[in-house]
Structure 1
Amino acid sequence: TGTAAPTEASADVALGDLPGLALALAALVGGAITVEDPESNVLAYSPTADTADPLRRLTILGRRVPSWRVTELAESGFLTTLWASGDVVHRPADARFPERLAVAVRAGDEILGSLWAAADGEPLPSGARDALRQAAVIAVPHLLHHRLRSRSAASRRRYAVRALFEERPPDVSAAAAVLGVEAGQACTVLTAGAAAVIAPDVLNRAFHLASLRVAAHHTPAFAHRDGDRLDVLVAGTGAGDGVDRLARDLAAVLRGAGVRPLVAVGPAVGGLGDAAASRAGAAQVLRVLRERGGPETAGAEDVRFAMDALRVTDAVAEHVPSAADAVAALLEHDERHGTDLPRTVAAHLVFFGDAAATARYVGVHTNTLRYRLRRAGELCGIDLTDPDVRLLVELGLRRAGLIPLP
């Protein structure tokens, strides 16, 4: 194949000498090598011939993959495949650029970066794919060394984002300095999560891949894990300035990782000091999407009526103990006897008392439906023909998450 043996390619490279590593790996693979971190920043590259394609030259000069190229790779699913795969990924040649081979460099489950091989004056040799697999193994200690040296900066960024979200009041100036953005820049928070309960290991992997996508976004963006959701602070943006596209990208990454995604877009706010308010707005949208269904990605305007209904339910819940007691009695009876009374009553209210529609939804005969509704009234001491009672019971069922219908 014309490539060097792995030991020959790496024996004389000092730990952490990434330019030397790129040069050695280029000899191993038989093409031009670029070493990148997970955020698509160029860490090192091998010298390139005068015939190098424009994209490689742009990437080297900017020390980063151009933002438009990152967007192309993300929207095509290439980045998701690269980070999720344990093997070399091929990007075919197109009308603009020659082919690329890429492979993620991993230490266990942690992604340290990636290696990219491009033709450099002549086509990649037939053994380039196998050689790049070997190169990924060789690169692990070098990128681990780099990661350890740069981890403190990443930790400071995480603490800065957490402070903006959680401290009252946050030290905005200090956080802005750490994040490298202006304190008065507009910002927006996206909150991503799963539409249903999912295995922790699957969610962890999905959020890790989503965090990599966030880091590769051309606008400064910072991911913050909070339990079963991933908050993303996008700085220096107004409404529509790439935020919606990032929301769609995150949904695509999560979906590709086996998660049914929901991504909520908080309101744009006038500075980092109001990031917590945008985050709270995104959390409300995510709650609506989880409890009531909806599109994969949405902002407050997309679900404003559902949000208003949720606010009303929350506001009056503590003032309507009769509704809470009635619903609690239904839920307790259903848990003991499996009678499906709460869902039956919820469907009855949602379908405005239409017996045929309610019976079809519940899957019973109309006579059985009437018996269930009568039994529910007896158990709770309520009269579902009374409009006041129906209103209070609906509030209780909404509070319990049974309306809208699951």
Structure 2
Amino acid sequence: MTALTFGQRFTPATGPDARAGDAFSDRAAPTAGALTLQNLLTAIGSGYLETICAPCGLEPMVCGVLIWDVAGPVSIDPGDLVLAVGVAATSSAFPELVDLAGRAGAAAVAVKGPLNDAWISSLAQGAGITVFAVPRELAWDQVHAVVRRAIATASATAEDSDAAPSRDLFALAAAAAADLGGPVQIHDAGMHLLAASPGDEFGDPWRTSEVAGHPPSELLGWLRRTGLLERVRGASRPIRVGPPGSPSRLVTAVRAGTEVLGFVSVSEGAVPLGLEHEATLLEIARMATTSVIRLRVAEDAERRLRSDLLRSVIDGTGSAFVLASRLGVHADEEFRLIGFQPHGGVCGQPIEQIQVHGLVELGMEGAAHGGLVATSGSRTYALLPSAQQAVHEVKELAGEILGQATHQLGVAMVAAIGTASSGLARLPTARAEVDRVLQLLSAGNGPPLATFDELRSRAVLAELRELAAERPHLLHGHIAMLREIDRTQNTQYISTLRAYFDSACDPVEASKRLYVHRNTLRYRLRRMKERCGLDLLDPNERLIAELQLRLTVET
């Protein structure tokens, strides 16, 4: 590995003899292969750079990587990723470096900890430049090498950018439509539109809904209910489908081996679709495979980056602004968080967690408005735009995923649906709500799926129970005294009081619950007051007594 030299800058060499990884050079003009910060993070993967603050988003171009020399004059050029080698984030030199890099138009500054995120964010905002954190255990030469390689690779492959797989698919759809005599659409495995032939019929509900960028929920539901979607996935030949309100069409799967990558369909036009059209459609599906795979690889890299961003935000370490920028939404976007975990709270093997993540991700792809998935520990979270789907639809979706986990993976799971929240900055709070419900569901024998609103009272009690464990004096008083009397004298004051509270303080109903005469119940209540001073006619004492009772009895 090349040793670091302060003040050294790498920019991709240019010209007909240039090769990826050529030597360091003076700054040239930004190359065609320059990366955005977003693309750089995708290319190098997680574990190298963590976004602390990105006031201008992650769209700035990275043209080179510069090793900062705090001891001597070093020029910073536009597009540089400045590695703050030897500069502590807490030193007076760091604000000067951030300010200098911002004024020079650098892409970003990378620094090692210990970090004060709030302070660094204020510096980044003031200078208008992105700041990355580098793990303290990572060597600077590793970071330098991986960034250098990403920039060089981007430069070397820039000439291939015109052969974008999406353009290939649109060209294929256009040619197929001319050959088949009807509109052609190509979808991914989640039925999101990848390409369509020109002049496609926008009056078709199938097509019109997809123009908005998401699958048509009504038609997806129809395909699932009728079993046609599974038939298409499993069939070796095209299947004819006739969705309500849409023309009849032939649909076949795009495959790589046994894996379904997507679908190709042709709508019936003036000429009825026959056997010759089926053979042509199969050939088109075969031709689409390579482009769909290339598109999927690019999307997988993007999905991984988004997933890493979501995980960092729900963990409380990432930037909600950067996540919003990456998703193309406002930071105050309304959302709903769903959480999944195995019943009991722990996955058996690491591979099991990977399978669960993939299953949830696949389920979100099939959702009407998509979703973003991230795994943290043994829990998998899905972020959904709450304004787009009703709670019952979200519950239905989560229930389907739980069923698939049981039948396909043999894993019993629970799922929690959080409340609708505004602002991605509230994701850590939403995660805490979801975690609380997952904890309650996993510990009990009730249904495996619930919303936070459905378990709100139990969630509040669970949080108060944790608070009481930290401050035991909150549980001192009448209930503790009655519990001790029950233990030493074989009385039944606690069970009597529990039945009384469960019956809304109705003596008649409480006596029925206890299978005793109501006079017996009244006698016990009177004796409680005599022995420990509990006055159930005092509303404050009654409230505290019931709360202490539930905090120490309920599980």
**Please, what TM-score do these two structures have when normalized by structure 1?**
0.61
Residue matched to 2:172: 21
Quote the Cα distance in structure 1 between the aligned partners of 2:327 and 2:412. Answer: 31
Match of 1:263 among 415, 418, 432: 415
Are 1:272 and 2:424 an aligned pair? yes
Per-residue CA distance 1:251-287 (angstroms, 9 max, x = gap): 2144145255532111333311011111121111112
Residue matched to 1:165: 314
Quote the Cα distance in structure 2 between the aligned partners of 1:299 and 1:157. Answer: 25
Per-residue CA distance 1:3-57 (angstroms, 9 max, x = gap): xxxxxxxxxxx8831123224555787864311234543222235687x972355
> For this pair of structures, how many residues does the alignment match?
318
Secondary structure of the corresponding residue to residue 416 of structure 2: strand
Quote the Cα distance in structure 2 between the aligned partners of 1:85 and 1:227. Answer: 34
Residue matched to 2:449: 297
Are 1:222 and 2:372 an aligned pair? yes
Are 1:188 and 2:336 an aligned pair? yes
Quote the Cα distance in structure 2 between the aligned partners of 1:129 and 1:250. Answer: 36
1 or 2 for the larger relative contact order (CA 8 Å, sep ≥6)?
Answer: 1
CA contact (8 A) 1:183 1:272 kept: yes
1:191 counterpart letter in structure 2: G
Quote the Cα distance in structure 1 between the aligned partners of 2:224 and 2:324. Answer: 27
**1:76 Cα deviation from its structure 2 partner:** 6.2
2:313 counterpart letter in structure 1: L
1:2-401 matches, within 5 Å, as 16=165, 17-23=168-174, 32-46=183-197, 54-58=204-208, 62=212, 65-70=215-220, 72-73=222-223, 81=230, 85=234, 90=239, 92-93=241-242, 95-107=244-256, 112-126=261-275, 132=281, 135-168=284-317, 170-195=318-343, 204-205=354-355, 207-219=357-369, 221-235=371-385, 237=386, 241-256=389-404, 258=407, 260-308=412-460, 310-311=462-463, 314-315=466-467
Quote the Cα distance in structure 2 between the aligned partners of 1:165 and 1:76. Answer: 38
1:186 counterpart letter in structure 2: E
Residue matched to 1:381: none
CA contact (8 A) 2:186 2:263 kept: yes
Quote the Cα distance in structure 2 between the aligned partners of 1:162 and 1:245. Answer: 24
Residue matched to 2:160: none
Per-residue CA distance 1:137-169 (angstroms, 9 max, x = gap): 43221112223344443343223312321233x
Quote the Cα distance in structure 1 between the aligned partners of 2:276 and 2:341. Answer: 41
Distance 1:199 1:153, change over 3 A: closer
CA contact (8 A) 1:34 1:116 kept: yes
CA contact (8 A) 1:221 1:234 kept: yes
**1:177 Cα deviation from its structure 2 partner:** 1.0
Quote the Cα distance in structure 1 between the aligned partners of 2:240 and 2:359. Answer: 19
Per-residue CA distance 1:213-232 (angstroms, 9 max, x = gap): 32354446312133543211
Question: For structure 1, which runs of at least 5 residues remain unmatched after alignment?
Answer: 1-13, 321-348, 351-393
**1:73 Cα deviation from its structure 2 partner:** 4.3
**1:302 Cα deviation from its structure 2 partner:** 1.5
Secondary structure of the corresponding residue to residue 139 of structure 1: helix
Distance 1:270 1:191, change over 3 A: same
**1:292 Cα deviation from its structure 2 partner:** 0.6
**1:247 Cα deviation from its structure 2 partner:** 3.0
Residue matched to 1:380: none
1:121 counterpart letter in structure 2: A
Secondary structure of the corresponding residue to residue 421 of structure 2: coil
**1:303 Cα deviation from its structure 2 partner:** 2.2
Distance 1:89 1:308, change over 3 A: farther
**1:174 Cα deviation from its structure 2 partner:** 1.9
Quote the Cα distance in structure 2 between the aligned partners of 1:217 and 1:96. Answer: 21
Q: Which moved more, 1:176-185 or 1:54-63?
A: 54-63
1:142 counterpart letter in structure 2: S
CA contact (8 A) 2:238 2:282 kept: no
Secondary structure of the corresponding residue to residue 232 of structure 1: strand
Secondary structure of the corresponding residue to residue 124 of structure 1: coil
Distance 1:107 1:282, change over 3 A: farther
Per-residue CA distance 1:172-217 (angstroms, 9 max, x = gap): 2222111111111232211123447678767655643432332354
Quote the Cα distance in structure 1 between the aligned partners of 2:274 and 2:350. Answer: 42
Q: Over aligned residue pairs, what C-alpha RMSD do you find? A: 4.7
Secondary structure of the corresponding residue to residue 301 of structure 1: coil
CA contact (8 A) 2:241 2:251 kept: no
Quote the Cα distance in structure 1 between the aligned partners of 2:422 and 2:278. Answer: 48
CA contact (8 A) 1:103 1:132 kept: yes
Question: For structure 2, which runs of at least 5 residues remain unmatched after alignment?
Answer: 1-162, 473-493, 496-549
Quote the Cα distance in structure 1 between the aligned partners of 2:244 and 2:336. Answer: 37
Quote the Cα distance in structure 1 between the aligned partners of 2:400 and 2:437. Answer: 19
**Please, what TM-score do these two structures have when normalized by structure 2?**
0.46
Give the greater-gyration-radius structure (CA).
2
